[in-house]
């Protein structure tokens, strides 16, 4: 069994867990949803457009909940992040299936449009997360501390001045 890290030890080599991708994903989802809802409403119907809104809200909520659960687990110890991610995924899948079963088969919002929006939204969020990771400077180890100023002058000879013994 894995023991939690010592309280005085750094909890993660990457530092505090960064959840800034949630803001980016939410904004991208908002823009795509604002464009998709009128298009779907005019082309397919307003029940489908409501399904798009519901699907986008579900995906945003699920990614935010997962992000917070994984960050919380990572603050305790990095080894808890995978179980937190898998547990959050299981809860989300079961909750989504229950929600789809609770929606009427031919009512408002459209169940098929909601399901397809969740699939498209998950792909969109995955792309946002991938771009977020690829454009960030990530340290895989803790960067070394800069040398102390009181140690440096004594440890290195001055290259211009020669010390003579006379």
Domains of the chain by residue range? 20-155
pTM: 0.69
Output the tens digit of pLDDT for each of the chain's 166 residues: 455 444 454 444 445 677 888 999 999 999 999 999 999 999 999 999 999 999 999 999 999 999 999 999 998 988 999 999 999 999 999 998 998 888 888 878 888 999 999 999 999 999 999 998 888 876 777 777 777 766 555 555 555 665 565 5
What Rg, from alpha-carbon coordinates, does the chain have?
25
108 by DSSP, 3-state: which? coil
C-beta atoms surrounding 122 within 10 Å: 15
At 102 the pLDDT is: 87
At 118 the pLDDT is: 94
Tell me, what DSSP letter sits at residue 151?
T
In 3D space, the residue among 37, 39, 67 whose CA is nearest the CA of residue 52 turns out to be: 37
Cα separation, 146 vs 61, whole angstroms: 41
At 1 the pLDDT is: 47
């Amino acid at each position: 069994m894995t023991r939690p890290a010592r309280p005085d030890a750094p909890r993660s080599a990457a530092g505090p867990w960064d959840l800034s991708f949630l803001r980016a994903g939410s904004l991208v989802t908002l823009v795509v949803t604002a464009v998709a809802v009128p298009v779907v409403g005019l082309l397919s119907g307003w029940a489908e457009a409501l399904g798009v809104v519901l699907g986008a809200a579900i995906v945003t909520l699920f990614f935010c909940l997962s992000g917070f659960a994984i960050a919380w687990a990572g603050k305790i110890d990095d080894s808890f992040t995978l179980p937190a991610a898998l547990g959050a995924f299981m809860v989300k899948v079961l909750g989504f299936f229950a929600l789809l079963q609770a929606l009427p088969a031919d009512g408002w919002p459209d169940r098929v449009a909601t399901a397809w929006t969740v699939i498209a939204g998950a792909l969109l969020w995955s792309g946002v997360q991938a771009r977020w990771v690829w454009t960030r400077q990530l340290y895989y180890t803790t960067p070394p501390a800069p040398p102390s100023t009181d140690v440096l002058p004594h440890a290195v000879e001055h290259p211009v001045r020669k010390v003579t013994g006379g």
